[in-house]
Structure 1
Amino acid sequence: MKPNHKGQAQLFKNPVLERMTRTHIALPISIFLIIATGLLYYGITHSFINVLEALGLFFLGWFIFTLIEYLAHRYIFHMNTDTPVKARLQYTVHGNHHDYPKDKKRLAMPPIISLLYASIFFFVFKLIFGQFVFGVVAGILFGYASYLAVHYIVHAYAPPKNFLKYLWIYHGIHHYKDSETYYGVSSPLWDFILGTTDKKNK
């Protein structure tokens, strides 16, 4: 199916489930910015981390998120659809976005699902980083909020006349030329490192 600039995919026959797949972008961005701020505040005020540690850990978490974003987009959102179940899952999670890239209500994961993932990430990274988890996960959640903002802006607005235009170009290549390139949305860093840039169109 060719990308459609208008309309929406119907993912579920159940109207309640269908409604839950649509999210105003401001809601998840606000939620995760608030949580990220709360984690930093809690970590500092309860002496788990100091201000300098919080700053360094925050940027480490943000950097980690860029890799999570890349890997999730490449290997989960664009999974091999070699079975009907996987094909259905991939379309529900991401394929519908490629068919209807201008559907503004499906540019973010429903908050209830993303909050569940965020909780899992917190406990996993707590095992890895211990008390430093407050700074790291704050950076990861800020990275996710930034990704949501960039993804929404790239799809909803015309590209600016500055260096940020490259984000529009990269994501446009992914959507309209070759969906196996430029998996990074908020940053093309890992595409350059791991060789998934659009080499043939350069």
Structure 2
Amino acid sequence: MDSMTTKEIKFVDGKSKRIFASPLLERISRTHVAIPVIIFLLYATGIMYWSIRYIEISPGLTMLFSLFGLAVFTWVEYNVHRYVFHIATSTKRKKRFQYIVHGVHHEYPKDKERLAMPPLLSITVATFFFIVFRYILGDYAFAFMPGFLVGYASYLLIHYMVHAVPPPKGWLRTLWKNHAIHHYKDGEVLFGVSSPLWDYIYGTTHDSRVSN
């Protein structure tokens, strides 16, 4: 670990770690998962209300775009996890960035206060995506974005549960198993948390890596 990281990162206890020297930054870097989930669901509800009340889009098309938004989120989730959270740490700055946004979670996966982005960052990211989709889709973004945000909220809940509660029976058990492999066996595979779909499409399942 480089000297800057050693100086700035201090142990808090056996299950967590301090990553900012500033008490304020350290505090706002932590959150209970329920807070960003509520933010995203309220955000989605507000945009959906605006879409129904002020945007002339049929109910059927609204539902279609919302489902499309949900599907697109799973793709965004996969790629952000793979290429941003697991960015190559070729420089000290990249190493520091990767550790703050995701590395500390891999080191302390049971730290429940770092299983989701803090509220301020959650609102910023949601607004950024809304601006991007508004530019691409125009008024259809008001129908698309609620599905995207519901997908985001679902991802946060699933990510929290796979770390905090025992795996269930049935098909959902696969999500727990995949994420456990990603954390404890091979961090270069199984980037999809809420869905394994894109790991199959892009060939990043554990089986595909073993076979290569």
Q: TM-score range by the shorter chain?
A: over 0.9
The aligned residue for residue 12 of structure 1 is: 20
The aligned residue for residue 167 of structure 2 is: 159
The aligned residue for residue 196 of structure 1 is: 204
The aligned residue for residue 66 of structure 1 is: 74
Match of residue 138, structure 2, among 101, 105, 130: 130
CA shift, 1:9, in A, is 1.6
- Measured in 1, the distance between the counterparts of 2:157 and 2:50 equals 25
Preserved contact between residue 55 and residue 139 of structure 2 (Cα < 8 Å):
no
SS at match of 1:116: helix
Question: Taking structure 2 as the reference length, what is the TM-score of the superposition?
Answer: 0.90
Matched letter for residue 160 of structure 1: P
The answer to whether structure 1 residue 29 and structure 2 residue 34 are counterparts is no
- Measured in 1, the distance between the counterparts of 2:14 and 2:201 equals 35
Preserved contact between residue 29 and residue 117 of structure 2 (Cα < 8 Å):
yes
Preserved contact between residue 15 and residue 111 of structure 2 (Cα < 8 Å):
yes
1:42-53 alignment runs, 5 A limit? 42-53=50-61
Unaligned 5+ residue runs, structure 2? 2-12
Note the alpha carbon deviations across 1:121-140, whole angstroms, 9 max, x for none. 11111111111001111111
- Measured in 2, the distance between the counterparts of 1:88 and 1:60 equals 35
Preserved contact between residue 48 and residue 132 of structure 1 (Cα < 8 Å):
no
Q: What is the aligned-residue RMSD (CA, Å)?
A: 1.5
Match of residue 126, structure 2, among 112, 118, 124: 118
Preserved contact between residue 40 and residue 135 of structure 1 (Cα < 8 Å):
yes
- Measured in 1, the distance between the counterparts of 2:181 and 2:63 equals 34
CA shift, 1:6, in A, is 4.5
Q: How many residues align?
A: 198
SS at match of 1:9: strand
CA shift, 1:68, in A, is 0.4
The aligned residue for residue 39 of structure 1 is: 47
- Measured in 1, the distance between the counterparts of 2:97 and 2:204 equals 24
Note the alpha carbon deviations across 1:30-58, whole angstroms, 9 max, x for none. 11011111111110111332211111010
CA shift, 1:11, in A, is 0.7
Preserved contact between residue 106 and residue 183 of structure 2 (Cα < 8 Å):
yes
The aligned residue for residue 88 of structure 2 is: 80
The aligned residue for residue 181 of structure 1 is: 189
Preserved contact between residue 181 and residue 198 of structure 1 (Cα < 8 Å):
yes
Question: Taking structure 1 as the reference length, what is the TM-score of the superposition?
Answer: 0.95
- Measured in 2, the distance between the counterparts of 1:116 and 1:50 equals 29
Unaligned 5+ residue runs, structure 1? none
Matched letter for residue 153 of structure 1: M
Match of residue 108, structure 2, among 91, 100, 104: 100
The aligned residue for residue 147 of structure 2 is: 139
- Measured in 2, the distance between the counterparts of 1:48 and 1:178 equals 48
